[in-house]
Structure formats: structure tokens, C-alpha cells
Amino acid sequence: MNQSQILRLQERVGTTPDGFWGPASIEACQRHLRDMMPSPHPFPVEGTQDFLDFFGPHGVEGGYTPPGRTFNLPFRLYLYGDTNQPVTRLSCHENCADSLLAVFERLAAVFPNEQDRKAAGILDYFGLYNPRLKRNSTTSWSMHSWMNAIDFNANKNGNKTAWPVTATMPIEVMECFAQEGWLAAGAFWGRDAMHFQATAPR
Ligand SMILES: [Zn+2]
């Protein structure tokens, strides 16, 4: 984000708009999103027994697949931003599929036309289910292995790209997810802003 976008973001999350994204801004942003989440929170915390009780085992390539449910999207996405690869339906873990559809309905309301959605980066779909280990881990499974995480606009919101100073994911997108209880990686771990997952904050 550029300086004026950072200032607007700071105003929106209720911290001093000084253009410096430091600990006070990070805390204010996380609080802003937490305050929007449903109570009680609909999802468990990652890495807990509650999580395994709720979502079951992770998927394995060529083996177990978590129970998914497919739904029609309120607007068309494009796989990897490629207009030759439109996506009109998604499959998500059955315990968060209604929730993800509700997120998309919120996104459709906040970004009512195609141009706004394109600018927000939410048309550029980078995947949901992918049974694999986390990057740089030999033991810890990616949330994508449970079919409860989704990525958008990876080109501008990379795994190691700092949000919001370099990455571009808008706070308004994170708010739509937060209102249904989903965590925005950019806000909660300061990078990987493409990524949203159906877990409660720690
Ligand atoms: Zn992801």
C-alpha cells in the first residue's frame, strides 16, 4: 500500500494516522477485526484438539479427503487471475462452507461491481483445497489441507510479503471475512495476505 492508503487504513482501524505501521497499528488492526467476529466464535483455534474435533483429519494427496460441500458463488472468480479459467463454484469443508458463502455475499455487497472487485484483488482466485505441509515445515500441515482456507491475489500478497506496507489486500476484504469469523493472515501474522482461514484468533 502507498502512504495515503496506510493513513486511511490507520484511520479505519482507529489508531493514530502517522503513516508508520508499527506495533500500535498492528494491535489496533487485529482488535478492529476481532471486534467484528461473531460471538461465540464459530470456529476453533488452529493447532488445538478442538480444531481436530471440529474439522477432523487433514486431507492427504491420493488418500483421505475432508468432507466438502460445493456452492455457487455470487460472482465469478478467475483461477490465478486468468480470464480463460473462470470459477463459478467452490468446494469448502462442510463445516465452514455456509460461512464462506456468507463471506462472498458480504464481498458482493461491499464491492458491488466487477471493477471494484478486480481492484480489490478478490477476483484472482489462488486455490482452496490443497493437501500439503506448510511452507518451510516438515511436520505442520497447511490449513488448506482441511479445505478451510482460501487464497486471493497471490501475486501482490505473497507468503513473505509484508502487509500492509508492501502487500495490497484491502482491509475491507478482511472485514468481510472477520464478520463470518475467518482470520486474515495479513492482519494476524503480517504477511501471506492472500490467505484467509476458518479458525479463531489465539
Ligand atoms: Zn493460503
* d(CA 16, ligand 1 centre) in Å: 30
CA distances (Å), origin 30, targets 35, 104, 109, 119, 189: 8, 21, 23, 23, 10
Question: What three-state secondary structure class fits 136?
Answer: coil
* d(CA 159, ligand 1 centre) in Å: 8
Q: Are strands 68-79 and 86-93 parallel, antiparallel or unpaired?
A: antiparallel
What's the pLDDT at 135? 85
Q: What is the pLDDT of residues 5-20, one digit of tens each?
A: 999 999 999 999 999 9
Q: What is the pLDDT of residues 122-158, one digit of tens each?
A: 999 999 999 999 988 898 999 999 999 999 999 999 9
* d(CA 193, ligand 1 centre) in Å: 9
What's the pLDDT at 127? 97
Average the pLDDT over 46-54 and give the result: 97
Q: What is the pLDDT of residues 162-188, one digit of tens each?
A: 999 999 999 999 999 999 999 999 999
Is the pLDDT confidence value at 102 over 90?
yes
What's the pLDDT at 58? 97
- According to DSSP, residue 3 is labeled H
Report domain extents, the chain: 3-197
What's the pLDDT at 201? 96
Residue, of 1 and 135, whose pLDDT is higher: 1
CA distances (Å), origin 131, targets 58, 82, 145, 171, 185: 7, 23, 4, 28, 19
